Amino acid sequence: MSKYFFIFLYRTLWNNKLFTSLNIVGLALGFAAFILAYQYINREKNYDRWNPNYENIYRVGLTHEGEHVAQTPSPLAKAIRQQLPEIKEVGLVLDYSYSNYPIFGKETVNVRKTLLMDSSAAKIFQIEAETGPLYRSSQQKEASLVSKELGRQLFGKDNIDFSTPKQVAAFSKALGVTENIYGISKVRNLSIINYDLLLIKEIEGEQHGNPYNYHTYIQVSPETKIPQLTEKINQIYHDQVTQLSWTKHSSFANGEVYLDPLSHLHLRPKNGSNGAYLTIWILGILSLLTLTLSAINFTNLTLAQAQSRTKEMSIKKTFGSSTGSITVQLLAEVFVQCLAAALLALFIIALCENILQTFLNDDLINYLFHPVTLLQLSLAVVITTVIAGLYPSLNLASYKTSTTIKDKLQAHPNRSILRNSLLTFQFFIALIFLCGSMLVYQQMQFIKKTDKGFNAEQVISFKGVGMYYDAKPDGTFYDFKRRIQQNLNIISASSATNLPGGADVPPKKQFNYQNRPIELDHIGVDLGYFNTLNIESIAGTSQVSLEQLLKDSTAHYAVINQTAAKELGIVSPNGIKITGCETDFSVTAIVKDVKTYGFENKVVPTIYSYGDECGPGRFKTSMIVKAKAGNVKQAIEAVKEEWVKNPSAESLPLDYEFLDTTYAQLYAKQEQMEILLNGYTILSLFIAMLGLFSVSAYDVVVRNKEISIRKVLGASTKDILLHLHKPYIYMLTLASIVGIPIAYLLMNDWLNNFAYKTQLSPWIFVIGIGTIATILSIIVGFQSLKTARTNPIKSLRDE
């Protein structure tokens, strides 16, 4: 191309500064939405993809009657390792869930992310040390690692000599428990295996006194047929594992094995919600729709500008330019504007990165200039250039010289139909965005205001405190809670194995009522649990006294929730006996259902017991304290005063969190989605406003003489305004007729992800249409009113 091509290009864009600026700003907003979405999508889809065995790693889980769990008994790993040669590695992983893991070094650190795994799991997930090989000799039985930041806190420096392992106290200095640290963990890319402290040790099976269930991961040979392998593992599970003492009481003793690929575990695990997977799909679609709106807006602006450039095209043809060369020039103009918009979008995102990180709670800056993101953006620029510029370029280049030099402002009917169709589509997309945004807001308000079955306000959770006391009903832990309840700032204190909103899922156990088997979630609680969380009794009383528990060691008391009572047909707990965990329980109360897992999952049948009947490992280590309103700080100080009296508390800071904050994490993703959808809705409305402004401005200019003639013939300003509004009202009506059913289906499908949800009100659609109609009236009315008030003589003097 000659330099004159670029000179003409520069002059054309400069001479049309207003349209060029509107085009670039509209496209920049679309590209910014696209970049933001695909930063997040690329990050979320990148978990463990760097692992060379990514396609061959699976997690072994159990399913029974539609329920899925990700944990399996530890003996299963050993059995399949010995009997299935197609499995190259079998590894066990356990989240340390009792509390933050206290480690004593230069500083005392409550480690928030602690994992236990065996050496096979370390191989599967490519665990490596910065400081040398994990295992330095055949005699080495463990290889625990810490993150670089944790190493700095524990040892006070960066360059640490690990030629011999470093021994640090754990849990409590008084208990004499130690951990050997063998090195600093090498920095890893995104992975589902995320830790600050990694305890790599050999893990014994249930037959050696290990009651815990683990995440079992397998790495298979590439040619392995997964359905057949699943059947083999299932057979081993039923033949060799289900009859072990701590497994046979689980409802999943009757379950079936399933294999979940590593590629699914972060976004859509079988045992959890697919909300994260749904979020990235929604984000991708929203960003593409927003970019499409920007491209449509660009096309509308270009078509509106086309009439003013017809003579320019005709003169170029007169001097020998072909239709093809003119088309290329016009597409080049579009490409330059798209490229400028993409660069502006990158600058906007980089400038707002800290704000976005605050809203999204994710560090996305690493993916802003990631090669994949830049490639996606480059493809988006090219595709947007074609979509936004091809038709206007071909249309403008195809003008006939003989007709265009005379008739500058004669509107072409085909272009008018296309402009109106594109604007209708913009209304359609904006309506879906707006209604969807209102529905998400309505559902979030429903979640926040609906009764959850318990009251988390003023409740402080102290995880792991019970590990440092005697947990017997009248032991030192009971005495500790009794003492802190004497403080005037504290209403009550209690403990439990599982708390609402916690990451620890209660185990399902097999129970029996009148020869009818039923699976119940089991939660161990103390005597004050229901009072502390204000869980209401529907029938009977949940207030069992310590004297009752101590009076008869053979008596076992339990409480069931409404869902369990309904499934069993129990109306009153009087005289009711339920058998499970090799124990006969006397039911003392039926309590209100607690939405333990949030609003996406139905409340499951649950039994609460006061003892440790359902197996070792079910320790009531989490303590919750209900503070008086406005006295939370004083309540925390009161707990600390009693805590330091425990010899095990030496140098061990008390770690706590607020229960309402913990529970809010269950719907944190939905809150992120609400923020993003609101942003996309505002963008879509703004882009639609730009398109409406350009089309209405052009129509008013083209119809200026028509309006003047109508005024001369006696039309009032009101008549002219109504006449000019009609086409846009028709467009909005058509967009609503098509958009409302589609929006209803999409919104209803999203609501189906919730077990407890708001009603889809018709007022959402009424408000959505009314909002767009109001914006339409303001923009079109402003343009029309100026023309309607203009002296008709000014428009007709050249006739």
| Tens of pLDDT, residues 470-483 | 878 788 888 999 99
DSSP class of 712: H
Q: Single out the residue of 219, 239, 215 nearest to residue 86, CA to CA.
A: 219
Contact indicator for 614, 249 with CB cutoff of 8 Å: yes
- Residue 358, pLDDT > 70, answer no
- Residue 225, pLDDT > 50, answer yes
pTM: predicted TM-score of the whole model, two decimal places: 0.79
77-126 pLDDT tens trace: 888 988 999 999 999 998 876 667 788 888 888 888 889 999 999 999 99
- Mean pLDDT (whole number) for 634-659: 86
Question: Which is more confident, 151 or 302?
Answer: 151
Local confidence band at 758 (pLDDT 50, 70, 90 cut-offs): very high
Beta strands 508-513; 557-561: pairing state: unpaired
Local confidence band at 360 (pLDDT 50, 70, 90 cut-offs): low
279-319 pLDDT tens trace: 888 888 888 888 888 888 777 777 766 666 666 666 666 66
Helix (H) or strand (E) holding 491: strand 490-496
- Residue 205, pLDDT > 70, answer no
Q: From the CB of residue 680, how many other CB atoms can be counted at a distance below 10 Å?
A: 24
Token digits for 467? 């590990």
**What residues form DSSP beta bridges with 140?**
none
Q: From the CB of residue 511, how many other CB atoms can be counted at a distance below 10 Å?
A: 26
Beta strands 197-200; 101-104: pairing state: unpaired
- Taking the C-alpha atoms of residue 722 and residue 487, their distance in angstroms, rounded to an integer, is 73
Contact indicator for 298, 357 with CB cutoff of 8 Å: no
Give the per-residue pLDDT at 319: 64
Token digits for 356? 């976005």
666-699 pLDDT tens trace: 888 788 778 878 888 888 888 888 778 777 776 7
Token digits for 315? 């003169």
**What residues form DSSP beta bridges with 519?**
510
Residue 711 identity (one-letter amino acid): K
- Residue 658, pLDDT > 50, answer yes
Give the per-residue pLDDT at 611: 82
Q: From the CB of residue 693, how many other CB atoms can be counted at a distance below 10 Å?
A: 19
Local confidence band at 208 (pLDDT 50, 70, 90 cut-offs): very low
The CB-side HSE value for 614 (13 A sphere, CA atoms) comes to 28
Instruction: Report the percentage of the chain scoring pLDDT > 70.
Output: 84
Give the per-residue pLDDT at 284: 86
Give the per-residue pLDDT at 488: 92
Mean confidence (pLDDT) of the chain: 82
Residue 186 identity (one-letter amino acid): K
Local confidence band at 209 (pLDDT 50, 70, 90 cut-offs): very low
- Residue 144, pLDDT > 60, answer yes
Residue 332: alpha-carbon gap to chain centroid: 40
Give the per-residue pLDDT at 249: 60
Local confidence band at 198 (pLDDT 50, 70, 90 cut-offs): very high
Beta strands 72-73; 213-220: pairing state: antiparallel
Token digits for 187? 């920095």
> Please, where are the H alpha helices in 257-412?
262-265, 275-306, 310-318, 323-351, 353-360, 371-397, 401-404
317-350 pLDDT tens trace: 666 666 777 777 778 878 888 888 889 988 888 7
- Mean pLDDT (whole number) for 500-519: 84
**What residues form DSSP beta bridges with 523?**
608
Highest mean predicted confidence (pLDDT) among 23-27, 183-187, 199-203, 215-219: 215-219
Give the per-residue pLDDT at 365: 67
**What residues form DSSP beta bridges with 166?**
181
DSSP class of 54: G
Q: Single out the residue of 541, 540, 526, 465 nearest to residue 494, CA to CA.
A: 526
Question: Which is more confident, 73 or 204?
Answer: 73
